[in-house]
Amino acid sequence: MRTPTRIARAAAVTAAAAAALLVVTGCAPGGNAPASKPTGSVSTAAPKGDITIKIMDETGFPVTSDLTAEFTKQYPNVKFDITRDSFQNLLANTPRLLASADAPDLIRQATIGTTVKDGLLTNLDPYFDAYGWDKFSAGQLAGGRITKDGVRGEGSLYQFGIGFSVTGIYMNKKLADQAGISAVPTTIDELEADLKKAKDAGILPVQTGMQDGVGTFVLQALINQYGDKQKLIDWMFNKPGATIVTDAALKGATTFQDWAKAGYLPSDVNAINYTTMVSNFTSGKGLFMWDGNWDAANVEKGLGKGNAEFFLMPPATAGGKYVAMGAGNSFTIPAKSKNADATAFFLNWIVTNEKARQIVVDVTGASPGGNPSQALPSVEKGSLIEQALENSAKVAADNGFTDFMANSTAGIYQGSLQPNEQLLLTDKMTPADFLKQTQAFYEKDLASQ
């Protein structure tokens, strides 16, 4: 039997919890670093003279706007020029943007692909040494490392995270009351019972979309619970011999398809993108929404304070450990950046400056990262952001963080996951064939790098 959800009591998460959050599965700095390591010294001095740092970021994530505004207040000689595009377009256009003679100084880059091999990124190892990033938990930077053989999680550092995410499920409490649901589910069986209750009450059980692949959050959340997460992590980090064709993935894909068949997803799921999904949910359409802590403030603003819960995907069995996707919102400094030192100074400022760290928490609901001995920003008691930070600590305590399937290879999100999940949800592809197609694309994509 479930117990009613607990209203968070702490007004801030402890530094110890933040440290635990960042001990995600991954490897510490190791050998096999790409040979393109830059030579010469780097400057850690504050930028001098009038400069403009160009940033290419993702649409719908305003934290860089707030951070750059504060940075310019503190360093008036530094201005920023921010351009935004959809996550989907960024994935497709990043290599071209990096190779451009007018490359940005900082770019949102979720997947490295061949950009290191092609010499398009700045190796951050010198900044790691100069700024003392070795004081960070090793797992915080593990996902941004890559070896000369293309294995992620070790080798030289190329990506730096701004805010560290955790994914979970948002619940509309008013709709839950209408469906006779008094507490968040603690197992997948209870979750599925709630989906049926919502459907029977005439309420859309799951608000999601597959036009741009955002529904992959639901699929991976299921896969995470049904098997050994390390097998999936090895696959996402491109370990030799890793495969997505596993019993856990088959059960996850089958369950996802079954939910679509049962009418638990929007009837036009393949026409709904990320922005529309969030808009629909915050306007009261849907009991549950699989999403990340970055939308905590948006959901609270849309549904009103106290009208939503943010909880972790429940385990398959009662008392099981939590597993959730979580990673830094990764950025890279292009090799052609004209302001690499100033950009690295900005990145270091984000994780060390008190006001910057507060902005990261206030805007994204994410841990700011950095040295775990630093004091954590305060959060409003009972807010969704507080719930998100507490959820992060719970996952960390279970060593349950994984990366995102969409980051496995440079092309897999658009080239395989998105279109084939559309077929999966419309019963035009079997779960087994979906996994076979995903693995085939994965191997082909890696072979081309």
For residue range 60-75, what is the model confidence (pLDDT) as tens digits?
Answer: 888 999 999 999 999 9
Contacts of 227 (CB under 8 A, 6+ apart): 246, 247, 248, 249, 251
**In the predicted structure, residue 36 carries a pLDDT above the cut 50:** no
Rounded Cα gap, residues 94 and 96, in angstroms: 5
**Tokens 């938990």 sit at which residue?**
137
pLDDT of residue 369: 84
**What confidence tier does 40 reach under pLDDT thresholds 50, 70, 90?**
low
Range with top average pLDDT, 32-41, 87-96, 126-135 = 126-135
Rounded Cα gap, residues 305 and 249, in angstroms: 36
pLDDT of residue 7: 26
Mean pLDDT of 113-141: 90
Which sign does the torsion angle of CA 132, 135, 140, 144 carry?
positive
**In the predicted structure, residue 6 carries a pLDDT above the cut 90:** no
**In the predicted structure, residue 21 carries a pLDDT above the cut 60:** no
pLDDT of residue 370: 86
pLDDT by residue (tens digit) across 271-288? Answer: 999 999 999 999 999 999
pLDDT of residue 142: 82
Q: Are 204 and 262 in contact (CB under 8 A)?
A: no
Closest of 249, 203, 206 to residue 417, by C-alpha: 249
pLDDT of residue 61: 82
HEC per residue, the chain = CCCCCCCCCCCCCCHHHHHHHCCCCCCCCCCCCCCCCCCCCCCCCCCCCCEEEEEEEECCCCHHHHHHHHHHHHCCCEEEEEEEECHHHHHHHHHHHHHCCCCCCEEECCCCCCCCCCCCECCCHHHHHHHCHHHCCHHHHHCCEECCCCCECCCEECCEEEEECCEEEEEEHHHHHHCCCCCCCCCHHHHHHHHHHHHHCCCCCECCCCCCCCCHHHHHHHHHHHCCHHHHHHHHCCCCCCCCCCHHHHHHHHHHHHHHHCCCCCCCHHHCCHHHHHHHHHCCCCCEEEEEHHHHHHHHHHHCCCCEEEECCCCCCCCCCCCEECCEEEEECECCCCCHHHHHHHHHHHHHCHHHHHHHHHHHCCECCCCCCCCCCCCCCCCHHHHHHHHHHHHHHCCCEECCHHHCCCCHHHHHHHHHHHHHHCCCCCHHHHHHHHHHHHHHHHHCC
**In the predicted structure, residue 12 carries a pLDDT above the cut 50:** no
Rounded Cα gap, residues 93 and 208, in angstroms: 25
The CATH class of the 15-165+326-377 domain is alpha beta
pLDDT by residue (tens digit) across 337-347? Answer: 999 999 999 99
**In the predicted structure, residue 32 carries a pLDDT above the cut 90:** no
Enumerate the domain spans of the chain: 15-165+326-377, 167-324+402-447
Range in 35-49, 171-185, 221-235 the model is least confident about: 35-49
Whether the domain at 15-165+326-377 and the domain at 167-324+402-447 fall into the same CATH topology: yes
pLDDT by residue (tens digit) across 370-397? Answer: 887 888 789 999 999 999 989 988 887 8
CA atoms within a 13 Å half-sphere pointing along the CA-CB vector of 380: 12
**In the predicted structure, residue 31 carries a pLDDT above the cut 50:** no
Q: Are 25 and 395 in contact (CB under 8 A)?
A: no
**What confidence tier does 24 reach under pLDDT thresholds 50, 70, 90?**
very low
User: Which CATH superfamily is 167-324+402-447 part of?
Assistant: Periplasmic binding protein-like II (3.40.190.10)
Bridge partners of 288?
A: 171, 206
Pairing of strands 328-332, 106-108: antiparallel
